[in-house]
Structure 1
Amino acid sequence: MPTHVVTVFLRHGADVLLLRRSDDVGSYPGQWGAVAGHAEGDPDEQARVEIAEETGLADAASLVRRGDPFEVDDPEHGTWVVHPYLFDCAGRDVDPNWETERFEWVPPTAIRERETVPELWQSYDAVRPRVETVAGDDHHGSAYLSLRALDVLRDEAALAADDGGWTAVADVARELLDAKPGMAVVRNRVNRAMATADRTAAGVERAAREVAADAVDADDRAASEAAAELDALGADAVFTLSRSGTVSAALRDANPGHVVVAESRPGGEGVGVAESLADGFDVTLTTDANVPAAVEAADAVLVGADAVFPDGRVVNKVGTRAAALAARDADAPVLVVCAADKVAPEPLPVEDGDSSALYDGDAPLDVRNPVFEAVPARLVDAVVTERGRLDADDVQRIAAEHRDRADWE
């Protein structure tokens, strides 16, 4: 009879957790693996049990993807049926148990360079992001998706390096540029990796790793800069909307007394943001229709951005312009926080969402269901990045840098 096991990859930023198995385990001592264990019952439940037992990170982990099970034949241990999983993890503070001798957070392609348990790369390959998953992800923000795009580029470059395939990697890069045409940060980070690499697949893999590490650092530093701005303003009540990991990090850094979050339709991701902040803040969740009144009671508005155009317009979730107009009337500053990689080389399309999600009746209506909108520069008090505040000249200079990198071909 085959033995069913779970193999669980925990991902933080662009890295995954690898565990080196101790000499006390019954199989593959000294070899590297992911979180793993026998699955005698429900594999989904066992995956979470193993995360808790082997890392102590169960409360910080959220399921991203489960892969199709596959068999591994081992002459010494028999047949394994592997159930692969990928979880995003909010932290890196691992508390290993006796099964682990050592652990490291590494780019997944490091799996191919180590002595691992059987078919560990196949397990990762079953759950890793693809161009299609980046293109189809309408749930996460653009900074997150830029990391996933770099994951795809790095992984495909590692596979193509076996054949020296620059052409194949360049094709993947082009597909990623088209995957999210309105997200400047996705395009800029892919272009940076391609522009800084030599014209080999191995060079692209190295560059994608480096750009991803820089991206995580840039997002963290942008959040710190925004927190310092809120502190300088003495902002005790802050309004925000939609979902931005950089905004959430800035709020946790600044620790205001009260946070108001709009529900952020369509999508309603503000609800999840409010829930995530409720463990550390006094949080009010409100309707989009109540945004003007909510902003009037705030000391500052803090939002993220999908893009900053060269003329200073900021693209963000629909509702941001209404919040900015209300903030002008209430004399509350509007701060936009993002990495400098979100400055677009040129204006990008700002597309509507699916009209049938708003109205699918038979009346001859012209239906608009915007998801994002461009907010005029005059309504934004500051764009705050890892480089600090950007003035109009800074934005144009950074846009020119990104245009130059887009010429990698």
Structure 2
Amino acid sequence: MAHVVTAFLRNRGEVLLVRRSDTAGTYPGRWGGVSGSVEGDADDPLADARREVREETGIGEEQLTLVRRGDPVAVDDAEGSFTVHPFLFDCATRAATPNAELAATEWVRPPAMLARETVPRLWDAYRAVGPTAETVAADRTHGSAEVSVRALAALRDEAASLAHTDGSWDDLAATARRLRDARPGMTVLATRVNRVLQEADRTPTAVRDRAAAAVAAAVDADDRAAREAVALLAAHGDDGADPAVVTLSRSGTVAETLERLDGPVFVAESVPGGEGRDVAASLATDGRAVTLVPDAAVASLLATGRVDAAVVGADAVFPDGSVANKVGTRGLALAAAREGVPVFAVTARDKVAPTDAFHPEWADFAAPDGVEAYAPLFDRAPGECVSVVTEDGVFDREAVRAVAEDHRALAAWDAEGDADRGGDGDDGKE
């Protein structure tokens, strides 16, 4: 049995499909992922997947981030017997230059595979690497906005599968509940899943289409919030220069904001997890001044006068205006208020929480025998210390409360599920 790789490249919620040339040795004219024979070790064909992407599309390794390798998919038909090794990559570019083996390339929403003449079991190969409730729950690498996009994509893909097989609404609703509840501390995930189910007709097809549109809207919301933040920050630099900014944790929206500015950046290491190190490395391009700061030194840094503004993300904005984010944000906000440094929480409006319930989550933090550990992953910054910047501009307390009421109404689709959970439960107030 021959071994082949199939690489799915993902960008802004879509994947790259390629159409095989009419002279291809197998499955001529059909659509597929970027694929080719395994020339190396069949137990570790990652290098083969990267090579095929480079040879067939011209996209180099520096543009690819491996997301997942899936379980092999078996194909046995008149064309031959194959073991397909699927891979999913996040791709930083949409500029693909097909080689002679390909007749066309196209970025599409993944469910489009179900309506095309594809190589055998292409959808099965994609589902082996696509997002699921389990991968959403386990993701400790990405910010909440990106995790919510993965949840919407998982809902879209499950709805597409059920629509294709005449699956039931009950099965789809169960998947939606698992996705919505996968990360209780990430308000945006529940908001976006609830909105899809509340606004779509009670059919898998309607949910598929509404979830696909929600993925695109979510990406656009982050872009717009970043632009709003850049405009506000521009007023805090000296003599027209971009401001010096301190940030903490990993937020895709904050990253987009900082990439549009040229001023110095101070990045807190952000323990536990230490994702600030990767953030600092990604910003240190073209000679930009980037400084990595131990979390314990953030207050000291703010006292030096070297920082013009602080920019953080948000996992939730509560009805009282307070902001939940990676632990350390509360201390940063309080220290910044003491030193007169403005703090901007850049976030999509979908992160406004419908209730005051706070779910800090807990880090795997080892303490000596006989010693208790206290290691929350999130804390809560007071609303009076933070300005909330969304794709619709700065939100004051009244605006936050109004959006919170709107988001409470989105859960109406699942009165049964809410009853099973016993309502909101403990409000978790500080």
- Same fold per TM (> 0.5)? yes
Are the counterparts in 2 of residues 352 and 368 from structure 1 also a CA contact under 8 Å?
Answer: no
CA shift, 1:164, in A, is 4.2
Residue in structure 1 matched with residue 292 of structure 2 by the alignment:
285
Residue in structure 1 matched with residue 404 of structure 2 by the alignment:
399
Are the counterparts in 2 of residues 239 and 294 from structure 1 also a CA contact under 8 Å?
Answer: no
1:98 to 97, 100, 107: 100
Are the counterparts in 2 of residues 318 and 370 from structure 1 also a CA contact under 8 Å?
Answer: yes
Residues 232 and 92 of structure 1: CA distance in aligned 2, closer, same or farther (over 3 Å): farther
1:23 aligns with 2:29: no
CA distance in 1, matches of 2:77, 2:213: 36
Are the counterparts in 2 of residues 164 and 200 from structure 1 also a CA contact under 8 Å?
Answer: no
Q: Which amino acid aligns with 1:73?
A: D
CA shift, 1:371, in A, is 0.9
Residue in structure 1 matched with residue 312 of structure 2 by the alignment:
303
Could you report, residue by residue, the CA deviation over 1:261-307 in whole angstroms, capped at 9, with x for unpaired residues?
11100111111111111224321111111111333421110110000
CA distance in 2, matches of 1:295, 1:110: 50
CA distance in 1, matches of 2:132, 2:360: 23
Residue in structure 1 matched with residue 125 of structure 2 by the alignment:
123
Name the SS for the 1:20 alignment partner.
strand
Which segment is superposed worse, 24-33 or 304-313? 24-33
Instruction: State how 1:328-343 maps to structure 2 within 5 Å.
Output: 328-343=337-352
1:196 aligns with 2:211: no
Give identity over the alignment, percent.
53
Are the counterparts in 2 of residues 242 and 264 from structure 1 also a CA contact under 8 Å?
Answer: yes
CA shift, 1:352, in A, is 4.2
CA distance in 2, matches of 1:91, 1:225: 24
CA distance in 2, matches of 1:95, 1:257: 35
CA shift, 1:358, in A, is 3.6
Corresponding residue pairs, total: 402
Instruction: State how 1:3-402 maps to structure 2 within 5 Å.
Output: 3-42=2-41, 43-57=45-59, 58-76=61-79, 78-161=80-163, 162-234=165-237, 235-253=242-260, 255-280=261-286, 281-296=288-303, 297-354=306-363, 357-359=365-367, 361-363=368-370, 365-380=371-386, 382-402=387-407
Name the SS for the 1:49 alignment partner.
helix
Residues 299 and 56 of structure 1: CA distance in aligned 2, closer, same or farther (over 3 Å): farther
Residues 228 and 107 of structure 1: CA distance in aligned 2, closer, same or farther (over 3 Å): same
CA distance in 2, matches of 1:146, 1:44: 27
Name the SS for the 1:373 alignment partner.
strand
CA shift, 1:16, in A, is 1.1
Residues 70 and 265 of structure 1: CA distance in aligned 2, closer, same or farther (over 3 Å): same
Which segment is superposed worse, 387-396 or 26-35? 26-35
CA distance in 2, matches of 1:200, 1:115: 25
CA shift, 1:11, in A, is 1.1
CA distance in 2, matches of 1:371, 1:164: 38
Residue in structure 1 matched with residue 419 of structure 2 by the alignment:
none
CA shift, 1:351, in A, is 2.4
CA distance in 1, matches of 2:254, 2:23: 44
Q: Which amino acid aligns with 2:225?
A: A
Are the counterparts in 2 of residues 295 and 301 from structure 1 also a CA contact under 8 Å?
Answer: no
CA distance in 1, matches of 2:57, 2:235: 38
CA shift, 1:163, in A, is 2.1
Are the counterparts in 2 of residues 218 and 339 from structure 1 also a CA contact under 8 Å?
Answer: yes
CA distance in 2, matches of 1:32, 1:21: 6
CA distance in 1, matches of 2:27, 2:119: 6
Q: Which amino acid aligns with 2:16?
A: L
Are the counterparts in 2 of residues 19 and 34 from structure 1 also a CA contact under 8 Å?
Answer: yes
Residues 366 and 3 of structure 1: CA distance in aligned 2, closer, same or farther (over 3 Å): closer
Unmatched 5+ stretches in structure 1 = none
CA distance in 2, matches of 1:397, 1:94: 44
Are the counterparts in 1 of residues 365 and 373 from structure 2 also a CA contact under 8 Å?
Answer: no
Q: Which amino acid aligns with 2:274?
A: G
Name the SS for the 2:401 alignment partner.
helix
Compute the TM-score of the two structures, normalised by the length of structure 1.
0.94
Q: Which amino acid aligns with 1:368?
A: Y
Compute the TM-score of the two structures, normalised by the length of structure 2.
0.90
CA distance in 1, matches of 2:52, 2:289: 33
Name the SS for the 1:64 alignment partner.
strand
Which segment is superposed worse, 177-186 or 153-162? 153-162
CA distance in 1, matches of 2:234, 2:99: 40
Residue in structure 1 matched with residue 426 of structure 2 by the alignment:
none
CA distance in 1, matches of 2:86, 2:75: 12
